[in-house]
Amino acid sequence: MKTKFVSLLAILLGLIIIIFPILGLIGVSALIGLSVLLMSIYLLVVGVAIIDYNRTGALLDLILGMLLLFLSICLIFNPALIGFIAEITLYLAGIMLIIVAVVSLINNRASRYGFYTGIAGIVLGLLYIVIGTYISNPIILGALIGIWLVISGVLKLMDG
């Protein structure tokens, strides 16, 4: 039950991230902040869901989720902060996606599709950094995190 809920949550949050940038009504800082916020919600839920059988992985997910939650709140509610970290925000989001993917890879070693979830996150994180270097379009960048969440949710749903 927990696995299906987490899988459906990942798919839902991923679709929200993919659909939301189409609206284009919000600034880059809030959009990246929202993407990171949804990623942090996912990590916090996963950390709580797996705490019964994987304390180390749960602790990693919870710590990373809290760090991302703090970062997202700062980005959403302090638009002036984006001016300070505008150039590193794209790289930071890509690096965080890679770190989340590595944690997912560690947590899902026994899972049938866990390896592919981690690899997809690493590839999309690298793609995020590369695209962020050349294209500063927040729609594409936010969608990459959404794609990873959907892939992660579908693979986790197929596994359970």
Look at residue 114 and tell me whether its pLDDT is greater than 80.
no
Q: How far is CA 27 from CA 37, 59, 86, 121, 131, in A?
A: 15, 32, 12, 25, 18
Between CA 140 and CA 130 the distance in angstroms is 12
Report angle CA 6, 110, 53 to the nearest 5 degrees. Answer: 60
Look at residue 83 and tell me whether its pLDDT is greater than 60.
no
pTM score of the predicted model: 0.56
Q: Which residue has the higher pLDDT, 3 or 50?
A: 50
> What band does 15 get if pLDDT is binned at 50, 70 and 90?
confident
Domain range summary for the chain, segments of one domain joined by +: 2-159
> What band does 67 get if pLDDT is binned at 50, 70 and 90?
very high
Phi-psi region of 24 (alpha: psi -120 to 50; beta: other; left: phi over 0): left
Helix, strand, coil percentages (3-state) for the chain, rounded to 5, are 85, 0, 15
> What band does 82 get if pLDDT is binned at 50, 70 and 90?
low
> What band does 23 get if pLDDT is binned at 50, 70 and 90?
very low
| Rg from Cα positions in the chain | 15
Look at residue 24 and tell me whether its pLDDT is greater than 50.
no
Percent of the chain with pLDDT over 90: 12
